[in-house]
Amino acid sequence: MEFDTLINASVTLLVTIDPIGLAPLFLALTAGMDRVTRRHIALRSILISTGLLVMFALAGMTILDLFGITMPAFRIAGGLLLFWLAFEMVYEKRQERKQETAERVVSHDEAKHIAVFPLAIPLIAGPGAISATVLLSTEMSSPLERSALIGVIIVLMMFCMIVFVLAERLERILGDTGRMVLTRLLGVILAALSVQFVADGIVAFMATPAA
């Protein structure tokens, strides 16, 4: 296995997953939660994301083909889900729901839901990361190369976990006002990102030859 191949895989997944960019999103999604709950959500989302990416690294396009799903269709679906999240962030719908149940501790089930969606899917193991993993798996087909690819995924997921844990310090610096501004700003950015996901998916979908 060439060293350049390993570096290319590392850089590609680092850019598509973007652990640093996920930190403020993690803060916005877990606003008002205590440290223990946040770390539980972070760990669960990382484990789910790692499992998904490793699965796609091993099986590649076979998984999507099994269900008759194309990558453009997957990208469109992920973009629509992300837009729904962005809408709630901009208009503080999530905050309204929290105020209706004021001072209620976040339940274990709610924490699990947030960890699965939108953290694990589509923010961490989203269409970009999955498509990159599938592409890399086709280029790194030998057992040694596949093992190296899985190793890269695990290291990047550990880095994401560290970023999530350190994100708590950022929240203390921002305060309530700063967090509110950041949440709405990120909501707008997420909305634009989701539209880009959908647009790219539609273009790729239209360019795909009919079966």
Q: Can you give the pLDDT of all 211 residues of the chain as single tens digits?
A: 577 888 888 888 987 888 887 888 888 888 778 888 889 999 999 999 999 999 999 987 787 788 888 878 877 887 787 788 778 778 766 555 444 433 344 455 666 688 998 899 888 998 778 888 887 887 788 889 999 999 999 999 999 999 999 887 776 776 767 767 777 887 787 788 788 878 888 998 888 775 5
**φ, ψ for residue 39 (rounded to 5)?**
-70, -30
The rounded distance, in Å, linking the Cα atoms of 133 and 155 is: 14
Amino acid, single-letter form, for residue 122: P
Q: Which residues contact 180 (CB under 8 A, 6 or more apart)?
A: 92
The rounded distance, in Å, linking the Cα atoms of 17 and 163 is: 12
**Residue 209 per-residue DSSP state:** P
DSSP 113-144: HHIIIIIIIIIIS-HHHHHHHHHHHHHS-SHH
Q: Which residues contact 167 (CB under 8 A, 6 or more apart)?
A: 23, 24, 26, 27
Question: Where in the chain are the domains?
Answer: 3-206
